[in-house]
Amino acid sequence: MKSTEIKEAALKFFTIHGYEGASLSQIADEVGIKKQSIYGHFKGKDDLFLQVLRDAKDTELSSKLTYFQSTLDEAPEQSLYGYLQLVIDLFQKNEHLKFWLRMSFFPPAHLAEAITEEVVDLEDQMQVVIEKRFSEWIEKGLIHNSDPSIPALAFIGVVDSILLELVYVNDEKRLCKKLEASWSIFWRGISS
Amino acid sequence: MKSTEIKEAALKFFTIHGYEGASLSQIADEVGIKKQSIYGHFKGKDDLFLQVLRDAKDTELSSKLTYFQSTLDEAPEQSLYGYLQLVIDLFQKNEHLKFWLRMSFFPPAHLAEAITEEVVDLEDQMQVVIEKRFSEWIEKGLIHNSDPSIPALAFIGVVDSILLELVYVNDEKRLCKKLEASWSIFWRGISS
DNA sequence: TCGAATCTAACGAACGTTCGTCAGTTATCT
DNA sequence: AGATAACTGACGAACGTTCGTTAGATTCGA
C-alpha cells in the first residue's frame, strides 16, 4: 500500500524537521514518487499530517494499554519499572513516540487546536488507567499514601523525565544512570 | 538599540513557530522595519538565530547560578523547592526558557551541532553545581544517600518533569497538583 | 564655522529557489 | 474499456538573500 509508505516517510521527516521544515518533495523522494502524486492519496499537507498524527496516537495508546492489561497481577515494583522500560523501548524502536512528543510540545500553530484535542484525550485516558491501578495497590497496602492521584502524578513525572532525557541526548550510559536515580528515589518515596 | 529589538522579536517567533516556521518578514514586521534591514544588523537568519540562542543561554545560566549562590545557607528542603519555583517563574515571566527548551529538544538540523554544544555545556555546569550541593548535605547527614549523583539526577528529573508540564498545557491547577505530587514523593525518597 | 567626507539605518526592487497546489496526460492492469 | 496511480507542466506565493540608493546624523579639516 503506497499511502502507508507515504505516511511512513512523512512521519520520519515531520519528526526530524517539524511540520514547517518537512516538505512534500522530500517525502515524495523518500518514497520514490513525485510530490504531486501525493495528492492522489491525500487532500494536502494538512490532511497527510493529521492522518499521521492519528496513526501515531493509536499506536502509542494501544501499546501502553496493552502493557497495563498484561501486568494486572504483577507487583507494583515490576509493573511500574517495566512500564518505564516499555517507554524507552517504544522510543528507540520506532519513530511514532518521538513524532508524538514533538507535536504535543510544539504543534504547528494553525493545527494546534486539533492536535491539543488528541493530546489531552490520550493523556486523560492514561492517567485514569494509572490512577485506578494505584488505588488498588493502596487498598492492598502495597503503596504508602491516601490519595492515589499523588503517586500516580509523581510516576507520570518520572516517565516524563525519562522521555525528556531520551529526546535530549540519546546517550545510553547517561540514560541508565538517570533512570536508576529517578526510579530508586521514587520507589523509596512511595513504598510503605 | 534596534538589534536588541530585532532579537526580541526573533526570540518570540522562533519560540512560537520554530526556526523553519519563523520568517524574517514576520520578525521585521514586529519591529516595524523591512526584512532587508535585518541584514544591516545580522549576517543572515542563522547569525540572528545563534545570537538569540547565546543570549538565552546566558540569561538562563546566570539566573540559575545566582539562585544557587543566594541559598548557600538554606536547608535542602527550602533550597530545592525554591529552585522548582524559580524555574516555573522563569518560564512564565519571559520567553527565553521556552525558546531554549524548544531548541534543545528539536534543533534545526543544519545547526544541531552548534546548538548541542551549548546545551551540553549549560547542562554540565548545572549538574556540577547541584551535585556539589548535594554532597555537602550528605556530609551533614541531611540527605539519605551515599552517592550524591543519585539524588542530584533524581532532582534534575523532577525539574525536567515540571518543565515538561509547563510546555505541555499551561494549566495552573494541573501544574500545582503535579508539582506537589512529584515534590512530596521525591522529598520522602531522599530525606533521612 | 562651514562644507566635505564618512557613517548609519533604513528603503524598493529584484534575484534564484522552493513551497503547496491544481490540471491534464500517460502508463499499467484487471 | 475503464480505473487506478503514476506522470509532466505550470501556477501564485513566499522564502532568504543581494544590490544599489536615499535620507539623516556624525566627524573633521580648513
Q: Which grid cell is A125?
A: 485516558
Q: Looking at chain B, which residue has its C-alpha nearest residue A181?
A: B150
Chain B residues 40 to 69 whose Cβ lies within 7 Å of strand D are 44-46
CB A159 within 8 A of CB A84: yes
Q: Are B24 and B45 in contact (CB under 8 A)?
A: yes
- So what's the pLDDT on residue A145? 86
Find the Å distance, CA of residue A23 to C1' of nucleotide D21.
37
Contact (CB<8Å) A181/B116: no
- Predicted confidence at residue A115, as pLDDT, reads 97
Cα(B74)–Cα(B63) distance, integer angstroms: 18
User: How many Cβ pairs within 8 Å bridge chains A and B?
Assistant: 141
What's residue A192's pLDDT?
Answer: 78
Instruction: Write the DSSP string, chain B.
Output: -HHHHHHHHHHHHHHHHHHHH--HHHHHHHHTS-GGGGGGTSSSHHHHHHHHHHHHHHHHHHHHHHHHHHTTTS-HHHHHHHHHHHHHHHHHH-SHHHHHHHHHHS--GGGHHHHHHHHHHHHHHHHHHHHHHHHHHHHTT-B--S-THHHHHHHHHHHHHHHHHHHH---HHHHHHHHHHHHHHHHHHHB-
- Among A144, A154, A184, beta carbon nearest to B181: A154
Contact B23, B14 (CB under 8 A): no
- pLDDT < 70 positions in chain B: none
What is the distance between the alpha carbons of residues A43 and A25, in angstroms, rounded to a whole number?
A: 15
Q: Domain A53-190 falls in which CATH fold?
A: Tetracycline Repressor; domain 2 (1.10.357)
Q: Which residues of chain A have pLDDT under 70?
A: none
* Averaged pLDDT of chain A: 95
Give residue ranges of B with CB < 8 Å to any A CB.
16-21, 102, 104-106, 108-109, 116, 119-120, 149-154, 156-158, 160-165, 167-169, 177-178, 180-182, 184-190
Residues A17-41: pLDDT tens digits?
999 999 999 999 999 999 999 999 9
Task: Decide if A29 contacts A46 (C-beta within 8 A).
Answer: no
- Tell me the C-alpha to C-alpha distance, in Å, between residue B82 and each of A64, B45, B74, B88, B115: 34, 37, 10, 10, 29
Taking every pair of Cα atoms in chain B, the longest distance, rounded to a whole number of angstroms, is 61
Q: Distance between terminal CA atoms of chain B? A: 53
Nucleotide with minimal C1' distance from the CA of B39 is D17
- CB A70 within 7 Å, strand C: no
Check B20 against A16: CB less than 8 A apart: no
pLDDT in tens, B121-148: 999 999 999 999 999 999 999 998 889 9
In chain B, residues with a C-beta closer than 8 Å to the C-beta of A106 are 18, 102, 106, 167
- Would you state the pLDDT for residue B189? 96
Per-domain residue ranges of chain A: 53-190
B103 touches strand D (CB under 7 A): no
- C-alpha–C-alpha distance, residues A101 and A15, integer Å: 9
Q: Does domain B52-190 have CATH number 1.10.357.10?
A: yes
Nucleotides of D under 7 A from a protein CB: 5-10, 14-20
* Residue pair A129/A65 in contact by the 8 Å Cβ criterion: yes
